[in-house]
Every structure is written in C-alpha cells, then in structure tokens.
A and B are shown apart, each in its own frame.
Chain A
Amino acid sequence: MCVGEYNSGRLSDPVTLPKRYQFRADDLEPRFGFFPRTNAVDISDLAQSSGEWLRGGGPESDIVISSRIRLARNLAEYPFVNQAGPAERHEIESTLEQAITGIRKPKLEYFSVDDFSSLDRQFLVERQLISREHAEGEGARGVAIDASERISLMVNEEDHLRIQVMHSGLDLDAAWKEIDKIDNEIERHVTYAFDQRLGYLTACPTNAGTGMRVSVMLHLPAVALTEQVEKIFRSLQKINVAVRGLYGEGSQPAGDFYQISNQITLGRDEANLIGTVADVVPTIIQYERKARAYLQEEKREVLHDRISRAYGILRNAQTITSEETMHYLSRVRMGINMGLIKDLQIPTVNELFIYTQPAHLQKMSGSEMNSANRNIERARYLRDNLNGGEAPSGNGGDLI
C-alpha cells in the first residue's frame, strides 16, 4: 500500500545503511542494481537482479503483474509479537535468523530492520519486500531477502514469521512450491505454533489455519476507464475474494493496479485456496480485454489521444507528482499493450512505477530531497528514461 507522497517530511534521519547494504550512485549496475557487488558472495547475488517480478515476463503478463503467496507462522514457545517483551523479541529474532540463514538454497541474506534508516525502510516498502507496518514498527525485527528479490521473510511483524514469495505474471503454483519448501526448511529448526484442530495459529484469527494469503496483482486500466470496477469487485466478494487497490488516493487507485486475494484461510487446503484466486483471474483478464477491445473499436480517437497525451506529459514534464506519474504510466502501459506505443518496452514501464517513488528517487540521486525537489527529480528521471525533452536551459528556478 502506498499513498502518493506519503513520506514527505519524514526523512530527517541521515542515511545510515549497514555497510553491506550501502548504496552509492556508481553502484548502479546495470541501471537499477542497488546492491553493491564488492562485498560477500551472497550480497553479490543480490546485485544480480532487482525485483525479478518487475521484468514483466510470465503468463498473461500484460495484465497480470505478479503472483504472490504469503505464509504466517509463529513459534510455539513465545507469546505473539504484540505481547512479547524486548528480551523475548530478541530471542524470537535470533532463533528465526539462525533458521533462515541456515537454508542453503535459496540463499537468504538477513538484515535487522532497526539498523536501516527510515529512507532505506521506505525503499524496501516501495520494493514490496517489507510491509509499511514493518517499516514503521519498533523493536527487534528483521527481513531476509534472496538475490532475485522473489523471496522475502519478515521477522517480528504481526506474526513471528511472514514468508512471502512473489513471481512475475500468473504463476501461483510455482510460488507455492517455492514457499512450501522454504517453510519446510525453517520448520526443521523451530517448532511452529500448530493446533490439531485449528492449524497454524496466528496473532489475528483472520489468518489462522493455513496462515496463507494468495494474491494476484492486476493492471486493469480499461476496466477502470469503462467504470466496471465496482461491478467486478462485487461479484468477487460473493465468492470470498477480496479486492484492493495497490496504490491509492481517491476512489480509483493510482496506476489502476488491483490486488485480488483469498479472504478465508481456515477449513480449506492450500491448493483449494490457490484455486479460489487463480480461477477468477481468467475472467478478470477477459473483462479487461473486452474493455480494451471496446475502447479500440468504439473510442479509438479518444483512447489514442489520452494515451499519446500521457506519454507526452511523462516525456516532457519538468515537475511531476508520484500520483500523476502513476496515472500517466498506467495509460502508457496500456498503450504499449494495445500496440499504440511502439518504442517502449513493458519492463521499462513496470520499473518506472517503482523507481519514480520517493525513496527510490532519493536513493538513486544519492541525496535526500523534499517533496518539491523530488517532483523535479522525478520529471528529470522520466525524461531521461523515456527519451524525452530537455530540462529548461539556464536557471530553471526562475520560472515562477
């Protein structure tokens, strides 16, 4: 969840990354490699890629951005996180850190979240590797990440352990296989809170049973443009599938990204829950395709105009907010998928959604910026990456 410029004014902390995670502008390799290659072997693994799910491959990836599965687990011998004292939280963390770093494959790098500056925590939120709650929490807590950024494990979030696996496109079965294996590996070293009757026990009863949340992130610009979102959501509710905008201010989520996920976690097995979500995806894809066909056939000029204007603004703006960027990027993304924009690739646009967010911009430029400067930097970044126009010559500050 991300709301436009949510973090403005909260970035007073100095950038104090742990050494192994430190960022320098010249570490960018290729364009978006955030993790320095010079350190230990496992860190260089992290540098290999950045957010595999962003690359935009995978089945149905023009509409389905990513498939994600999350498992909630707790240790039997400790109170849940909200009732655990500082000493207990430390014990929980070190127990799980040992179990996590003991996994040989995939190799996971463990970080203490408290060691990160607020900017770095924000960065991990934008990257979808930790939750906002985890970023803003207090006390001993951590995150483990694999080189491809497909896997992340949060320690001492709402539950002792939250395992997350994210795949590009519609690929829930592969995500399940991967997460199931990690869960088994960890469980060799710890005793989970598990009840014969209720299954895996969680801090909130909404997660009990399987502890599993399956979600698919969809890009539905045409459904949104043709105002069919509510209709679809209402029918999903009836079959216990929840829908939520990914980024959002206003009633229409910025960027037209929607997450659908299972509401029920108890009384059905994992395959069934995955099926509940996976089964509705083709229908929603159909809706989006039909809406696109309608726009193309019936509203061709209007559609073409909106997409071209969006592209034009992104390539030429001199200052632009996060929300506006998402709004236009969404149209451009649709334009590429509909063949109306030919000189731009989907992975580039997918990345721009993430890299134009506040913490990413600041980390890439290597300095902290206020909201106004971020908007200028964001516009510059977009022009650079979309082969757009130049910055105003002379002193741009004299505009007003």
Chain B
Amino acid sequence: MKCQYCERTATLHITELTDGQVKELHLCKEHAHEYLSQADAGVPQPTSSASSLAHHLTVGNTAEDLARLDQKVCPICGISFYEFRNSGRLGCPNDYTCFQQELEGLLLNIHGETSHVGKLPGRGATDLAEHTRLIQMRRQLKEAVSEEDYELASKLRDEIRDLRSEFREGRPTESEPKAKKPRKRQAPRPKPPADEGSQD
C-alpha cells in the first residue's frame, strides 16, 4: 500500500477518531513521523490539528473574504493571518486581540465557548497591552540595528530596559497579597474589542 501523501510504501497505519468519524491513515515513515511528532510526549493531541484548524477557518468564507483576512497583520509580532492559518500557531499574545473576529468562530468551534472560567494568575490580570508593547519594541530595535539607525536603536534599548524594570519593581507589591490563593470566578463579561490601531 502506498503512503497517502507520497509515492513511498506506507509502513504505518493509523486509525484516528475525529468528531465521531473513523479516519484511516496510511503513511510512509517520514510522513508518519511528521504526523506523530505533532503530538505531545504521549499526551493525545486535540483533534484540531493545524490542518483541521485551517479547515475550520475556511468554512463559510468566500475566496475573496479569505484573501482579505489573510492579509491582516499583527502590529506587535508582525505575523499575518495567512501565516497563522498555514502553521496553526499564533505569533504573540496580541494576536488574540488583533485577530479577535477571525478567531472567535474558531474558538467556538473547538471549545464551544469563548470565555475563560477557572484559574486566574495570582496577581490578577495585568495589562496585557503594556507587556506586549515590549514585543513590538524589541522588533523595532532589531530593525533599527539592521538599518544601522543606532540613535533609534539605543533609544529603544533604554526604553525596553526602563519598561522591564518598571514591571519588575511593580511585581512584589502586586503579587504578595494575591499570590497565595488562586481565585475562581464566574465567566466574565466579554470586554469590548481592543483598538488594534492604537498600538502601531
């Protein structure tokens, strides 16, 4: 029997159950390895692998819609929605804000819910945008260095350093009273979509 992805002989035969459907896979050594390496060490992979993620996303969208969605780029880490769709991996925490509309349906599809319930970080939620700004600044720093704009680079380096130490100083006082017991809470109300443009 041939591997279903190439001309080599299939040496590995997998039966997967996805959404109640039995899926037979016949793979050569290399494709089998690729397939299996998507999994955690022994921990079952959720059935929504990168490829089925992409499938979820294409459902209900016309080609033009998709082309338009694909071009959207996160101002913080610089990945496009197309890159996410291809790899199944987001580029930074801000992508959840930047691609919020696009991800909403996907999250609903995977989890049946779009609001977190459960553990909160000990010190409560911090201002995520404050922190992800560092991702953007490091990226700008890299660019400044490669463009030999050393004045800008050193300015950015100082800003990054200051911001990081600001976070560090804020930490102990913030965390001491709260760190001990993680609190549970009910499903929060969805917050209004953040203004993505303001960060660029």
Contacts and interface: CB of A to CB of B under 8 A. Distances in A.
Query: Do A and B come from the same complex?
Result: yes
A244 B41 contact: no
A197 B188 contact: yes
A270 interface: yes
Contacts of A132: 36-37, 39, 41
A6 B120 CA distance: 40
Nearest to A249: B12
Contact of B47 (A180, A210, A242): A242
Nearest to B19: A237
Nearest to A6: B33
Given A83-B77, A130-B41, A76 B128 contact: yes
Given A76-B128, A230-B22, A270-B119, A206 B46 contact: yes
Query: Is the interface on chain A under 10, 10 to 19, 20 to 34, or 35 or more residues?
Result: 35 or more
A197 B40 contact: no
B52 to A, nearest CB: 10
Interface centre among B38, B92, B113, B191 (most CB of A within 10 A): B92
Contacts of A243: 17, 44
A74 B93 contact: yes
Interface stretch (B1-9, B59-67, B102-110, B149-157): B102-110
Query: Is the interface on chain B under 10, 10 to 19, 20 to 34, or 35 or more residues?
Result: 35 or more
Contacts, number: 240
A60 interface: no
B32 to A, nearest CB: 7
B131 interface: yes
A322 interface: no
A359 to B, nearest CB: 13
Nearest to B113: A267
Interface string B112-149: 11111111111101101001101100100010000000
Given A203-B90, A242-B47, A268-B118, 16 more contacts: A1-B37, A80-B89, A132-B37, A133-B39, A193-B132, A197-B115, A197-B116, A198-B107, A208-B107, A209-B111, A234-B17, A242-B45, A249-B11, A263-B47, A264-B110, A267-B117
Per CB-CB distance, the 7 closest pairs between chain A and chain B, nearest first, are A267-B113, A199-B116, A269-B118, A76-B131, A131-B41, A244-B44, A193-B93
